[in-house]
Homo-oligomer: A and B are copies of this chain.
Amino acid sequence: MRATLMYGAGDVRVENVPDATLEKSTDAVVRVLVSCICGSDLWPYGSMKPNTAGHRMGHEFIGVVEDAGRDVASVKRGDVVIAPFVWSDGTCDFCQAGLQTSCRHGGNWGNPDAGQGEAARIPQADGTLVKVPVPEDSDLLPALLTLSDVMCTGHHSAVTAKVGKGSTVTVIGDGAVGLSAVIAAKRLGAEQIILMGRHQARTDLGRDFGATEIVSERGEEGAARVKELTGEDGTHAVLECVGTLPAIETAFAAVRDGGSVSRVGVPQYRDVPMPSVFMRNVSLTGGVAPARAYIEELLPEVLDGRIQPGRVFDRTVKLDNIAEGYRAMAEREALKVLVRP
């Protein structure tokens, strides 16, 4: 079968790899219908050291079950399923608590299979996959695909920052996660949603999703603008959807005393600069999103169109042209690229 490998910065190739097959009785094999490129894929795309073995790419995909091990009970051949961006057993204490990213028997895609390919072996299929009631050619596939990562990641940022009815919220970043965070904040009842971004097509989409104000300034100037829009208080929640040091600095400058900064962009820094945060009782929360925990809650609203996170996809490529998709996202020509095998 064909699959995507990254061999170093800027070096993405689609190659023949061994077919996905069942290895354990708890596995399933899924033929991929749609996958996509993640903002987090762009970090290695920008900086990965050359590696002759290559690294299998892709952790967001929807597919059709082709085969299932004898211990798989929740899905069967022919089912259309969402694969969240880690696999998990669904039964351990962490999974039961909704933290599937810390599953005691879970893991990450890429070893060996991953989403940006024609098929994938799914470990712990019962705990991992979520069956969705749509046909293989449904127009809802892009929207449903966001439940494998970005929509759930945006939701995680809003939930961990305790966004609720009447909250004021700043979303830092107009990428797919930031825009999903706007959707999440809106549906949780936020009354003011300030989106920080400077790419007009994206901030326009953010307005459609529920952003009440757009701040195009960055850094101190951007935080000052958020303060201005909130009577100098800052917002209850700041959802940091970028992952850079300047973004997290802006987050702490824009948050209200007693509020929360939630970061869901993979941090590209180690130590967190938090001056004055102690005296202001600001919390830092978030982390890698347990997408699996949120799919059932968000699924009905995707199915009936109340939320339309699929609109973050503004380009589609064939698997064999995925390198072009990476380039377009890295150069910010495309917001988020859908991949069809």
Contact = CB atoms under 8 A, between A and B. Distances in A.
A200 B200 CA distance: 63
A78 interface: no
Contacts of A266: 278
A274 B284 CA distance: 11
B270 A270 contact: no
A272 B277 CA distance: 11
A283 interface: yes
Contact of A278 (B263, B273, B275): B263
A69 interface: no
A201 interface: no
Given A258-B94, A258-B102, A283 B280 contact: no
A257 B160 contact: no
Interface string A246-287: 000000000001100001001100111111011111111111
B287 A278 contact: yes
Chain A interface size, as a band, is 20 to 34
A275 B102 CA distance: 16
Contacts of A277: 287
Contacts of A257: 94, 99, 102
A1 interface: no
A330 interface: no
A40 to B, nearest CB: 11
A283 B281 contact: no
Q: Which of A94, A273, A280, A284 has the most CB of B within 10 A?
A: A284
A287 B277 CA distance: 8
Given A102-B258, A271-B274, A288 B279 contact: yes
Contacts of A281: 99, 101-102, 160, 286-288, 290
Given A258-B97, A270-B275, A274-B271, A280 B102 contact: yes
A166 to B, nearest CB: 12
Contacts of A160: 281, 283
Nearest to A282: B287
A284 B284 contact: yes
A272 B261 CA distance: 14
A99 B282 CA distance: 11
Contacts of A275: 270
Interface string A195-236: 000000000000000000000000000000000000000000
Ranked 9 nearest A-B pairs via Cβ: A281-B287, A271-B271, A102-B257, A283-B285, A99-B258, A284-B284, A272-B272, A278-B287, A271-B273
25 contacts: A94-B257, A94-B258, A99-B258, A99-B281, A101-B279, A102-B257, A102-B280, A102-B281, A160-B281, A266-B278, A270-B273, A270-B274, A271-B272, A271-B273, A271-B274, A272-B272, A272-B284, A278-B286, A280-B287, A281-B286, A281-B290, A283-B283, A283-B284, A283-B286, A285-B285
Interface of A: 94, 97, 99, 101-102, 160, 257-258, 263, 266-267, 270-275, 277-288, 290
Given A99-B281, A279-B288, 13 more contacts: A99-B257, A102-B257, A102-B258, A102-B281, A263-B278, A270-B274, A271-B271, A272-B272, A277-B287, A278-B287, A282-B287, A283-B284, A284-B284
